[in-house]
């Protein structure tokens, strides 16, 4: 089932009222009321059609992502260097990053 965030909020409020007023279970009603909207949707197997917030990543997840991205960058730099070696190979005696200066005549 798919519901908008607003529809899901209304449904959750109705569930709280029903559990409190009809079922008579104050504790369970409080549990539902304190549950996040995302957790309520997941438990009820409802998909939110307009989710606003993404779950915050943990510090470790962010560090893992940084490591993965750094490795990807290094791989891409290696590929770039291999392509440059094919397209414009360095001449002997020339060091990377140095430009050859034109010779000047004595005058």
Q: Convert the pLDDT of each residue in 56-84 to its tens digit.
A: 788 999 999 999 999 999 999 999 999 99
- Please check whether residues 6 and 44 belong to one and the same domain: yes
**Residue 81, domain member (yes or no):** yes
The b-or-e profile of 44-78 (16+ CB within 10 A means b, else e) is: eebebeeeeeeeeeeeeeeeeeeeeeeeeeeeeee
From residue 63, give the alpha-carbon distance in Å to each of 57, 58, 66, 75: 10, 9, 5, 18
**Residue 68, domain member (yes or no):** yes
Residue 13: pLDDT band with limits 50, 70, 90: very high
**Residue 105, domain member (yes or no):** no
Residue 98: pLDDT band with limits 50, 70, 90: low
Whether the pTM exceeds 0.85: the reply is no
- Please check whether residues 8 and 39 belong to one and the same domain: yes
Range of the domain at 16: 2-48
**Residue 94, domain member (yes or no):** no
**Residue 102, domain member (yes or no):** no
**Residue 71, domain member (yes or no):** yes
Per-residue pLDDT of 35-60, as tens digits, reads 999 999 999 999 988 766 667 788 99
Domain count for the chain: 2
State the pLDDT at residue 48.
87
């Amino acid at each position: 089932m798919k519901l908008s965030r607003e529809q899901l909020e209304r449904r959750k409020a109705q569930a709280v009222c029903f559990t409190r007023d009809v079922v008579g279970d104050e504790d369970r009603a409080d549990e539902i009321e304190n549950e996040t909207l995302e957790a309520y949707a997941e438990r009820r197997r409802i998909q939110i059609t307009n989710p606003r917030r993404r779950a915050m990543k943990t510090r470790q997840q962010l560090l893992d992502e940084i490591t993965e991205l750094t490795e990807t960058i290094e791989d891409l730099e290696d590929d770039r260097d291999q392509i440059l070696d094919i397209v414009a190979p360095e001449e002997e005696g020339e060091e990377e990053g140095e430009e050859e200066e034109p010779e000047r005549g004595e005058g």
